[in-house]
Structure formats: C-alpha cells, structure tokens
Chains A and B, each alone.
Chain A
Amino acid sequence: MKNPLTKRLPRSLKSDFGKYAVIFIFITGMIAFVSGFLVASHSMRIAYDDSFTTYNIEDGNLEFTEKPSDEILDEIADGKLRFYENYYKEESLLEKDSTLRIFAKRTEIDLECLMSGAFPAADDEIAIDRLYAENNNFAVGDTLRISGHSYRITGLVALSDYSALFSSPADMMFDAIKFGVAIVTDDAFADIRDVHLHYSYSWKWNTPPANDKAKKDASDDLLDRVTDVLKANAEDEAEALVTEAIQNGQDPSAVKMPDFLSVNQYIPAYSNQAIIFTGTDISGDAMMFLVFLYILVAIIAFVMAITTSNTITQEATVIGTLRASGYTRGELIRHFMLLPAVITLIGAVIGNVLGYTLLKEHMAGIYYRSYCLTTYKTVWNADAFIETTVIPVILMLLINYLVIRSKMHLSPLRFMRGDLSTSKRKKAFKLNTKIPILHRFRLRVLFQNIPNYIVLLFGIFLADIILLFGVMFTPILNEMGDNITEHMIADYQYVLKTPEDTEISGAEQYNMTTLRTPADSVLEEDVSIYGFEPDSRYAPAMPEDPDSVIISNCYAEKHHVAVGDTVTLHEQYGDGVYSFRVSGIVYYPAGLAMFMEQKQFRNTFDLEDDAYTGYLSDEPLTDLTDDNIAAQITADDMTKVSRQLISSMGGIASGFKVFGVIMFVLMIYLLSKIIIERNSQAISMVKILGYSGGEINSLYVFATTVVVILGFVVSLPLCDRLMEVIIHVAMSRYPGWFEYHTQPKLLVCILLLGILSYAVVAVLLLHKIKRIPMSDALKSQE
C-alpha cells in the first residue's frame, strides 16, 4: 500500500505555498541561468576547440624586424615546421580614435569566419571584426577611411587567431573597443603604406607535439634556434661588412654596424592570449558558475532543512505517535525529505528547459559581447544536465537528510512528550537580571535561533560579495582608469624608429625597453624600463642614488618587492640578464614599471651616450615625421583594461546587483519567517497577555534586525578584503596588476541597499506577526 503520509504533501505545499513558491522560483531561476550558461559555454567551447582545425589556427608566430630571407626561414624551420607569411599593417582609424590591424585575406592559415555580409573581393572593400564593429557602431555597407583610402565594409568576420582582441601579448586585457582586426584583398593590402608593416610569420609544426610539455619544449627549442640562426646571421653580416671595409681600405673598427635582423615578437600559440584567453575564460567561467550554483543550492537546502526541522518540532507529538504506531524513522525521514527534493527536481528540470530554450542565446550573447568567436551550434550537454539537475537534487537531499536525521534520532516517547531538546542543560544560561526583561527576552530569542542566524550570516556574506561585485565593479574600474590617466608619465609618449629632433618645447627625450621577470617569479611577465633625463619633468620619481632604481607600486605589490631588494630581469629574446637595486617605490597604477636615470639606462643596456627611444610631451609633437613614429602611447592605450572590463562585464555586474538583493531578501525572509513560525505560540501568548503590537515586533524582529545589520557591518569589510585577495590571486595569473581600492562611500551604499532590502522583509515579518491569531496559544501543545 502506498504510504498514506504522502497525501499530506500537497496540503503542506498548499498551506505554505508562498515559501515553497519563492524557493521554487529561486531554484528554477538559478538553474535556468546556470544551465543556459553551461550549454552556451559548452557549445562555444566545442566551436572554439574545433576552430583550431576548422580554421587551421597557427601553432605560433614570429615577428621579425625586417623581411627575412627564405634561407633564414628554412634554416630556422629545420624541416620541423612550416612558416606562413602573415604580415599585417596597423593603421589608426581617426574617426573612432582606434587602431585597426589589417591583414591580407588568409588562404592557408588562421582562416577567417564570415559572420555576416561577404568577404572583400575588390580593392576598396574590407571586412572587419564583428565585435569591434559592434563596439564602434560599424555595419556592413559603412565606409572606413584608412590612411587616405576609403573602404566599404562588405562583411563582419571573426579572425580565428584573434578570438580575444589582444593587441600585444604583454597586455593584461584585450581591447575590443579601441583595437580591431580586418582583412582586405592582397592588392588592397599592398596598397596600404608600409610605415606600420609588421613582418609576422605564423608557423605550424609538421608533426604536432603530443602534449603540452612537448609543445613547450618544442617552442623553447625553436626560440633557441631562432636566436642562434639570427646571431649567426648577424655575425656573418658583420664579418662581411668588416671584410668589405678592409677590401675598401677603410678602418674596420670605424664600420658602423646596422640593425641586424632580429625578432620583435615570438609567441607560441599556447601562450598567445589572443588565441587561448577565450578558451581559458570559457572553462573558468563554467566552473565559477557551477560553484556559485552549488553554494546557493546548499544555502537553500539549509533553509529548507531548518524549515522542516521546525515543522518536526511543531508536529512532535504526531511524529511520536506515528513512530509508536510502527512507522520507521527512515519512512518519516523520507517523508520529510520528499517535498524539498521534488521541488528541487521540478525546479531543476524546468530550469534546464528554460536554460536550453530561452536563456541560451542570452548567455551566448555574453560571450559574443566579449569575444570574437566564430559561429557555434547548440550541442546537447549531458554534463550540464547532470551538473544542474542531479547534483543540486543530491545536495538538497544530502543536507536535508543530515539535518532531519539528526532531528529524528530521538525516541518515540521523547517525541510524544514534545521533548526534542538535545541539550543536557538543566538551566538556561544566566543573563544579568539587571538587564530589563524585554532586552533579556530579545537576547533569548537571539540565542534560541542561533542555527538560523548562522545560515543567515553565511547568506548575508554571500549576498554581500555578490552586491560588492555588482556595486563596485564599474566605479572601481572607472577610478582605476582615472588614476592611470592622472598618473600617466606624459600625455603623449612617442616611440621613434630612428632619432629625430623636435622643435616643440616641453618635449623630453627618454628611453624605454621591456624586460621579463624571472620564470620562477609570481608570473613571468613584462616590466617596462624607463630612463629619464636627470631633471625630468615627466619622471614619476627618480632615484637619489643613481645606481639604483625606483619601481612602480604595481610591480612591488605583485612581485612582493621591497625597498632595498635587488631584482633580476632578463631579455625575452636574448641572453641579457640584469640586476637592479630598488631604492624606492612610486605610485604608478598603469602597470609594472621601473624608473632610472638616462645615464644608468644607457650604461645598463650598453647604448650610445645620446641614445633615446622617443619623446615625452604634454602636447602632440606634430613636427615629427609620421612614418618615423613606431608607436604613440596615449591615455586610451593605458586604460584599455578598465574600458574593456566595463564593456564586457558591466552588464553582468548590474545583474549581480539585482541578484544579490533578491537573494538577500529571500534568505532573510525565509529564515526570519521560520523564527516567527517557531515562536508563533509564544507570540500568540504574549498577545493574550496584553503586549502591544510594537512590543511584540520589537521582541521577535529586533533580534533579526540586529543580526542582519551586524552581519552586514561585519561582513562588508571582510568581503571587501576577500575581494581584494581574490583579485590579487586572480591577477597573479595575468600580466599586469589590478589595483583594488576600497571606496568607503560604495560600502555605505551597499549597507544602505541591504538595510532598505531588509526593511521590505521587516514589513513582511511584521505583517506575519500581526496575522498570528491568539487562538494559537489555545491549541493543546506541549
């Protein structure tokens, strides 16, 4: 015979419909969101992984300072790989104050995916990256003006080797607003001026390395080979020049050596952020969302378990009778577990259906708003179903089982007597009798509901983190952008190809190069090394001791460098290793940097006494030859991280605000409702005794109010600190540094938001207290 107790489940559901409905909606919503996200990310991940073969993505690329000969390329390849010419030209798009990296349409490697429109077929046609186009409001049919030529946009594309628009491998973050990629026909490419031509070669291994370690070993060997070949080539060329000088009767020591062929950039695909960042992010996001879902389900499960535990207390005599009548403990445990499990299961199934149908495209949109992904097809993800259905249900069952089982272990007699206390205490702990009775009453309510409040505090903590992220995300990034702009070395920073004079006053020569931190440091990454004139007006700081250096706070914080330490850096594509003694740390939020005097810079890098890289200036140096400017660094370049993060995740951050508030309200309401329900008879009794509504509210809502406000006040700084730690740990995996600054006014904002949300809950609680009838006290219960 079917267990007749199951017949009461629909009635239990009906009698507490509001609570179950809220939990159901919350679980369904969460699972729909996560399921939609997992399906989208899984499908994206498959499309991304497939793109390596579909679009023949390179195994790495190498950029030379000039065009290498075929012999050199063959010597480097050594029969192990094949090089593909993949030149590009970078041009400014003045109307949008951004940079376009233009390639000739690829036919063999790093193929493009056409997202809409058509590939360029004529010399005045161009196809640009879809995301860059969206961010800059370009559409098919629009015309772009690039270095004197007009191009009609025929299509929007995704370049398979630029799924994340990193303009440089040293960048902390991609920039899909100020940086874009484009393709034109071969002829159109040839027509573009060569001023900003980059001699880039992609390669593919003839026999792909078997695993990650083999890939790294092969890439390291290749770099060694590149270095050796170029060194030998330079030596040969130098020797030829000397020989020629001798043959011409010249002094060989007076021969001025040219810049020999060297490498500007060497990036194996496995470390190319433009290629791998998207894949890593998709995988990381999926894990983050799952962990987030499980934490929330666990909290909801605890709320459910506490609710059920409360029901068991209220129905103790009935349970005792059923147990005495022969119902087993297991049958009753299963009975009480059934409703939460069914609600979770139905919520999970409906959530999955919603995730797969309604939300999947929205979730995919999140990725498309950040990454230049190729097209994807929805792929059924059995793992996602298990992760968002089976595991939440198991989690719900497990937590409920543990809580209910601990409640049900008492004997039937204890249940019948209503004696469910597990404490052996004979006395309540003492409270000073000088404390007024109402205060003691409130304290007793507080102590009585410690388990609820612990779950509540955990919920507040979690909601705080969500709110903190939602509220602080954009302002902190804005502040970061402002700080970087405010502390820029100069408004205009020029890197020249060859030295050139300027007549504009205020311009100052400087030197700059890039070195790498050691492989065994927090992260092997670039540090910008600057050399300034002794009386520089632009240097953020200058060392008093000319043999020492000043480093940026970002460098010091990330790599734990203190004043007095000696740091060792090395060249990326050379053998040079350099040590510097740090004599000061200066606030420079733009990134990892080191500052020294020009003289020391030139000595360190063995440069001529008058060598310089370019100019620093507060105004544009309009008299410089345009073709001689290798790079111009402006505030836009320095603030790309904050700009891109706001663009990619600003919308999500707003969503977090709403979600945090909903979760907060839900948690507090459900848990404090239990407190009211547990005390309904006592509340009824004090009503009979003649306590006023205000007095009763102050007794039973006050404790919750104190816990909520204290919880907020205590957890906010903790969350703030935790957020800083999380960001710093996360940043240890990426180049650069994110300076986390607490903004007290935002903490106050979150506190007020929390209090306001609680006020809504408090109104509901007061209403609930008001509705408790005095007849509750008349029910025969012990």
Chain B
Amino acid sequence: MFLEISNIKKGFGEGESRVEVLKGIDLSIEKGEICVLLGPSGSGKSTLLNIIGGIDAADSGYISINGEKTADMNERALTRYRRKHLGYIFQMYNLIPNLNIKENVEVGAYLSDHPLETDEILKTLGLYEHRHKLPNQLSGGQQQRTSIGRAIVKNPDILLCDEPTGALDYNTSKDILRLIEEVNKKYGCTVVMVTHNAAIANMADRVVKLRDGQIRKNYTNETKTPAAELDW
C-alpha cells in the first residue's frame, strides 16, 4: 500500500467546546490513484488532507507513506517528508506575491533533486507568455495553474489538492481538473483531492465520502469520466 491512513482522530477545542473533527479514519490509497475526498463543510476532509500533508498533527493514529510514518517524525523530518513526497494545491493558490510566475514555479523546482523542466511545465500549463508577470496580474485560473506548476515541477509522489476549483468559474474549474488529470497520467503521481463538488468525484479512481468526521463511503469508480467531460 502506498498511502496508508490508520485510525486517524483529531479534535479541536477543550472541555465542553471540544469538537471531534475526525473520529477514526482508516483509508488506503494506491500509488498513481486519483482519490477524491468528498463531503460537506465541517466533514473533516480538509483536516484529513492537512494531516496527510504533515502540516497538522493527528491526536491519534498514523499516516504511512511507503512505510514511513509521519507520527514518528520530528519537525525537521516532517519538512523533509513534505519536500520529498508532496505537492500542494490550495483553493486560494497561495502564490508568493513578490515573485513572478516562473519564479513561483522555480520555488517548487528548487526543492527537488530531479525537478521537471520549468519552461516545459509553463508551456504545458499555458503560462509561458505570462512567466514574467506577478501573480496579481493574472486571472484566478492562471494563478491556480501556476500553483499546479509549482506543485508538480518537483515531481512529487503525492499531489494534495484542497478545493482546487473552489474559487474558479465552471470553465476554468474544468480546465484545472483536466490539468490535474493530465499531470496524474503523465507523471504518475498520486492525487488526493478535497472537494465538496460531487461531480468531480466522477474523474477519481477512488471516492471517499466523509460526514461528521467519519468515512461514510469508500469506493472505486468502475468507469471514470474524463475531466473534460464533467458537468455540474
């Protein structure tokens, strides 16, 4: 098993105001899979993604990637873990505002011993002619594409996407999903994508439905719908 999530529990707050956000999540994801975590607001999907990404810690349980357990890692090791295995895509892009588009992608490339070719990525993403612009001079879709470029340029094992289309319009959202699908195919990275858009589940190999901190459904799609054909 490539990514193993075992009995993950996580709560916030103290005493009476404590809320259990994840109530024991068990999940296995194969290498190269696209896994969509689906659920309404407050279901715990983003929290789970953050724990997988090593930017939040579980109260109990563990995440194991290729046999390496994140719970055993100190801060330095967690940094190395993120550096080595993960690429992150956020709803709000989180580009570095004072770096231009190419430099934002290079920030990702720097972290890898064997990064992909930056210019090639920029061309693939349709950003090459915008490479000298600052993020705030691009549209939301272009910024999200830059964010994808930054995530994939280091050729990560896992691509974590937190509502990557949450701030985008329909066409741009499909464009972004198509890109993520293409990246998955081309580079073979595992994709874990959080969304509350049920239609997106159709492009996934595995769909995990969460509600109230628990997995309500975990299934694989017999037939996937290509991102370009998604409709909602």
Which residue of chain A is the closest to B110 with respect to CB atoms? Answer: A437
- Which of the 9-residue segments A465-473, A559-567, A640-648, A684-692 touches chain B? A684-692
Other-chain residue from B79, B86, B99 in contact with A692 (beta carbon distance below 8 A) = B79
Residue A427 CB within 8 A of the other chain: yes
Known: A437-B103, A447-B98. A780 touches B55 (CB 8 A): no
Q: Is the CB of B80 within 8 A of A690?
A: yes
- Which of the 9-residue segments B18-26, B89-97, B177-185, B197-205 touches chain A? B89-97
The 0/1 profile, CB within 8 Å of B marked 1, for residues 667-703 of chain A is 0000000000001011001111111110000000000
Q: Is the CB of B111 within 8 A of A445?
A: no
Q: Is the CB of B108 within 8 A of A692?
A: no
Q: Is the CB of B82 within 8 A of A688?
A: yes
The 0/1 profile, CB within 8 Å of B marked 1, for residues 421-446 of chain A is 10001111010010001101100110
Residue A777 CB within 8 A of the other chain: yes
- Which of the 9-residue segments B28-36, B128-136, B215-223 touches chain A? B128-136
The 0/1 profile, CB within 8 Å of A marked 1, for residues 123-147 of chain B is 0000000001110110000000000
Cα–Cα distance between A694 and B150 once the two chains are bound (Å) = 21
Other-chain residue from B46, B80, B132 in contact with A427 (beta carbon distance below 8 A) = B132
Q: Is the CB of A441 within 8 A of B99?
A: yes
Residue A781 CB within 8 A of the other chain: yes
Cα–Cα distance between A681 and B135 once the two chains are bound (Å) = 14
Residue A501 CB within 8 A of the other chain: no
Cα–Cα distance between A418 and B143 once the two chains are bound (Å) = 14
**Chain B neighbourhood of A438, CB < 8 A:** 110
Residue B107 CB within 8 A of the other chain: yes
Known: A685-B94, A692-B76. A426 touches B103 (CB 8 A): no
Known: A421-B136, A430-B132, A437-B103. A780 touches B110 (CB 8 A): no
Q: Is the CB of B133 within 8 A of A426?
A: yes
Task: For chain A, give the interface size range.
Answer: 35 or more
Q: Is the CB of A688 within 8 A of B83?
A: no
Docked complex: A766-782 residues within 8 A CB-CB of B: 774-775, 777-778, 780-782
**Distance from B112 Cβ to chain A, minimum over Cβ atoms (Å):** 9
Docked complex: B42-89 residues within 8 A CB-CB of A: 46, 50, 53, 55-56, 76, 79-84, 86, 88
Q: Is the CB of A777 within 8 A of B90?
A: yes
**Chain A neighbourhood of B83, CB < 8 A:** 689-692
Residue A49 CB within 8 A of the other chain: no
Residue B172 CB within 8 A of the other chain: no
**Chain B neighbourhood of A430, CB < 8 A:** 132
Residue A147 CB within 8 A of the other chain: no
Q: Is the CB of B55 within 8 A of A688?
A: yes
Residue B109 CB within 8 A of the other chain: yes
**Chain A neighbourhood of B92, CB < 8 A:** 780-782
Known: A444-B103, A690-B111. A428 touches B86 (CB 8 A): no
**Chain A neighbourhood of B81, CB < 8 A:** 690
**Chain B neighbourhood of A448, CB < 8 A:** 97-98
Other-chain residue from B98, B108, B137, B150 in contact with A445 (beta carbon distance below 8 A) = B98
Known: A437-B107, A437-B109, A441-B99. A777 touches B94 (CB 8 A): yes
Residue B106 CB within 8 A of the other chain: yes
**Distance from A696 Cβ to chain B, minimum over Cβ atoms (Å):** 10
Which residue of chain A is the closest to B81 with respect to CB atoms? Answer: A690
Residue B7 CB within 8 A of the other chain: no
**Distance from A699 Cβ to chain B, minimum over Cβ atoms (Å):** 9
Q: Is the CB of A427 within 8 A of B97?
A: no
**Distance from B2 Cβ to chain A, minimum over Cβ atoms (Å):** 19
Cα–Cα distance between A679 and B82 once the two chains are bound (Å) = 21
Residue B225 CB within 8 A of the other chain: no
Q: Is the CB of A433 within 8 A of B102?
A: yes
Residue A419 CB within 8 A of the other chain: yes
Cα–Cα distance between A444 and B81 once the two chains are bound (Å) = 27
Which residue of chain A is the closest to B162 with respect to CB atoms? Answer: A778
Q: Is the CB of A441 within 8 A of B103?
A: yes
**Distance from B46 Cβ to chain A, minimum over Cβ atoms (Å):** 8
**Distance from A423 Cβ to chain B, minimum over Cβ atoms (Å):** 9
Residue B100 CB within 8 A of the other chain: yes
Q: Is the CB of A426 within 8 A of B97?
A: no
Q: Is the CB of B53 within 8 A of A688?
A: yes
Cα–Cα distance between A668 and B229 once the two chains are bound (Å) = 56
Cα–Cα distance between A353 and B2 once the two chains are bound (Å) = 70
Which residue of chain B is the closest to A696 with respect to CB atoms? Answer: B79
A binding-site residues for B, Cβ under 8 Å = 418-419, 421, 425-428, 430, 433, 437-438, 440-441, 444-445, 447-448, 679, 681-682, 685-693, 774-775, 777-778, 780-782
Q: Could you show 5 A-B contacts with beta carbons less than 8 Å apart? A: A427-B137, A428-B100, A682-B97, A689-B83, A775-B55
B binding-site residues for A, Cβ under 8 Å = 46, 50, 53, 55-56, 76, 79-84, 86, 88, 90-92, 94, 96-100, 102-103, 106-111, 132-134, 136-137, 150, 162
The 8 closest A-B pairs by CB, nearest first: A690-B83, A690-B82, A448-B98, A774-B55, A437-B106, A428-B100, A444-B98, A682-B96
Other than A689-B107, A691-B83, A781-B92, give 16 A-B pairs with Cβ distance below 8 A.
A427-B133, A427-B137, A430-B132, A437-B109, A438-B110, A441-B107, A444-B98, A445-B98, A448-B97, A688-B53, A689-B88, A690-B81, A692-B83, A774-B56, A777-B94, A782-B92
